[in-house]
Chain A
């Protein structure tokens, strides 16, 4: 297992809600990443974002870990909930908020923050 793969795994496991996306929340580089991020924001989720664009290896290692071919990928409580289509679909049905409550507790909206993790930065 590579060091990068370990760091990706750590983000998935440690962050309440992780989105692997093209760009960052303040500068989104892809319509699908934008759709997923908007759905998470509307649900009041705390979001930890990882930009996959700086190094293609991030995307390769991530897809190997998750068995999911495309970006964005959204994880709640360490579990893959899907890409943009599923996240939007779950948000529309109210299921996204239910899953956030289940994984993070009923008061998850109080801790709603956005942060960015740079996987390539030295530890």
Chain B
């Protein structure tokens, strides 16, 4: 697992301490295209737009800095 992948996972765990599942994968091996999966009860009752907004907010800094060039998001409610 790459260093950036680890860092992003830590940021997500900080933002979603209640999450039952968090996974960050480097989609291309280049260290800047990621797949992010978060399963959290906090998403229950939220639209997909609202769920993705929470993930985008948690990773706003690495996005702004260009560390993340592209990110695919998969969110689920529940545990």
Contacts and interface: CB of A to CB of B under 8 A. Distances in A.
Contacts, number: 27
Given A69-B56, A69-B60, A69-B63, A85 B74 contact: yes
B53 A67 contact: yes
B48 A90 contact: yes
A70 to B, nearest CB: 8
B70 A83 contact: no
A83 B52 contact: yes
B1 interface: no
A86 B52 contact: yes
Given A67-B53, A69-B56, A90-B48, A85 B73 contact: yes
Interface of A (DSSP majority class): mixed
Interface residues of B, number: 12
Contacts of B73: 85
A86 B53 contact: no
A94 B48 CA distance: 15
A102 B73 CA distance: 26
Contacts of A67: 53
Contacts of A83: 52
A68 B74 CA distance: 16
A104 interface: no
A80 interface: yes
B63 A82 contact: no
A73 B49 CA distance: 11
A82 B49 contact: yes
B1 to A, nearest CB: 22
Interface of A: 32, 67-70, 80-86, 89-90
Interface of B: 48-49, 52-53, 56, 60, 63, 70-74
